[in-house]
Amino acid sequence: MGEKIINIGIVGAGNRGIRCYGLYLMKEKRNSVRIMGISDPDRKRLEFGKKVLNLDDSSVFDDTEKMLSVLPLDAVIITSPDYTHKKIAISAFKKGIDVLCEKPLALTVKDCDDIIREQKKSGKILCVGFVLRYNNFYKKMHEIVNVEKKIGRIIMAGAMDSVSTGSQYFFHGWWRLRKNSGGLLVQKATHSIDILNWVINSRATRVYGEGGLSVFGGNKSNTKRCSSCEIKNTCPEALLENNVQWDYGEGNIKMEIEDKCVFAKEIDVYDHEVLTIAYENGVKAFFVESQFTPDYKREFWFIGDKGRMYGIDPYIVSNKDERKPYIEIVYRHTREKEIIPVKLRPGGHGGGDPGLIEDFLSCCLTRKNPLADGVAGRESIAICAGGEKSIETGKIIKLR
């Protein structure tokens, strides 16, 4: 008997849905996966996805609910805008379909709890798109702390997301409105917060945040676009080529994105945040995110009673400084330093994209719990949404 074929639908015909998941499945998993259909309300993107994935007219839907109802799906991959995740995931579970949902799982803890409740009721798989858990760099940090225990008992920790492409990624399009994204802690920071949670191996109990909107936003018209702007040739934030080729995913293709002005009145998400986080096991942590740094990198610090671990995952540092991910350990009593280089797998997000997909497909067959499950999605949102609320109110937010 041959390997079971998994019938999959993809929700969202954007970069993640088509370029990352769709093309990978079509190229690498054609003997074990059948892409049954894609859905997206944007007809232009739908036609793009249809062409790239070689689908016929019966496999494309501008109504996701119809796709979930009509096609004989075993699993669905949700890559639609963040505010749509809850409704689609719950509908899929009610129809007996396994779910891989892009991060964030939802915009609020309540919505995450509603999704997880329906998932448990259905007995189906829920995997969240925390691709960094499948990247060798982050896997090694987790192993050093939780398996090898090289730095002893963790007491303090921290992370910093430096985002040089914040303008391009978040402030030209729908992410710039809190009602759509939940804020950039929820949309972007959820990755690094999940890594903190995973390595610290505990649940957060409270969070306090400071932050603001200092570089982006302003008094420009909400309908102003870079393509027709009178200063587009001198504005450093102008998106002159809105068919952007993203830096992750499968296939050499470009996809049209929005080019709204990053100084518009309507922008209400923060462009920088600082959080302090307390955990049940006594660990105290910090998190810093900036959307306007010159470099693009993630950095982590873990301090234990036997030593300190520092890790850096650089995408862009500077024109003359090309670095690869590495981990540094300094032992407390000897001050001996150990450098641990990490070799990444091929694929987007340092091999995290294919790793996530492979885990999800395996879980669909074995019925095992994925490494990045619904609880992980919920716990990250507890901190990120709590941090957004803390910045807004000036109060410490209790998370349970």
**Are 12 and 119 members of one domain?**
yes
Q: Look at residue 8 and tell me whether its pLDDT is greater than 60.
A: yes
**Are 168 and 45 members of one domain?**
no
**Are 338 and 357 members of one domain?**
no
**Are 286 and 392 members of one domain?**
yes
Cβ-based neighbour number of residue 74 at 10 Å: 20
The CATH number linked to 98 is 3.40.50.720
pLDDT value at residue 244: 58
Amino acid at position 8, single letter = I
Q: What is the band of 90 on the pLDDT scale with cuts at 50, 70, 90?
A: very high
**Are 357 and 384 members of one domain?**
no
**Are 313 and 336 members of one domain?**
yes
Nearest to 186 by CA among 300, 116, 83: 83
Let me know if residue 253 belongs to a domain.
no
Nearest to 166 by CA among 259, 322, 293, 255: 293
Q: Look at residue 120 and tell me whether its pLDDT is greater than 50.
A: yes
pLDDT in tens, 28-67: 999 999 999 999 999 999 999 999 999 999 999 999 999 9
Let me know if residue 356 belongs to a domain.
yes
Domain that holds residue 11: 6-130+352-369
In Å, how far are 174, 185, 387 from 193, measured between CA atoms? 22, 9, 11
The CATH number linked to 195 is 3.30.360.10
Let me know if residue 245 belongs to a domain.
no
**Are 101 and 142 members of one domain?**
no
Q: Look at residue 246 and tell me whether its pLDDT is greater than 60.
A: no
Average pLDDT, the chain: 94
Let me know if residue 308 belongs to a domain.
yes
Residues 6+ apart with CB under 8 A from 30: none
Nearest to 86 by CA among 74, 99, 75, 71: 99
pLDDT value at residue 250: 61
Q: How many domains would you assign to the chain? A: 2
What mean pLDDT is predicted for residues 133-148? 98
Q: What is the pTM of this model?
A: 0.95
pLDDT in tens, 352-388: 999 999 999 999 999 999 999 999 999 999 999 999 9
Let me know if residue 94 belongs to a domain.
yes
Q: What is the band of 320 on the pLDDT scale with cuts at 50, 70, 90?
A: low
**Are 193 and 279 members of one domain?**
yes
Q: What is the rounded CA–CA span in Å between residue 263 and residue 258?
A: 14
pLDDT value at residue 400: 76
pLDDT value at residue 1: 43
Let me know if residue 34 belongs to a domain.
yes
pLDDT value at residue 173: 94
Let me know if residue 314 belongs to a domain.
yes
pLDDT value at residue 240: 84
Let me know if residue 339 belongs to a domain.
yes
pLDDT in tens, 261-319: 999 999 999 999 999 999 999 999 999 999 999 999 999 999 999 999 999 998 766 66
**Are 80 and 160 members of one domain?**
no
Contact 155, 282 (CB under 8 A): yes
**Are 29 and 100 members of one domain?**
yes
**Are 99 and 28 members of one domain?**
yes
Q: What is the rounded CA–CA span in Å between residue 83 and residue 65?
A: 16
**Are 58 and 197 members of one domain?**
no
pLDDT value at residue 279: 98
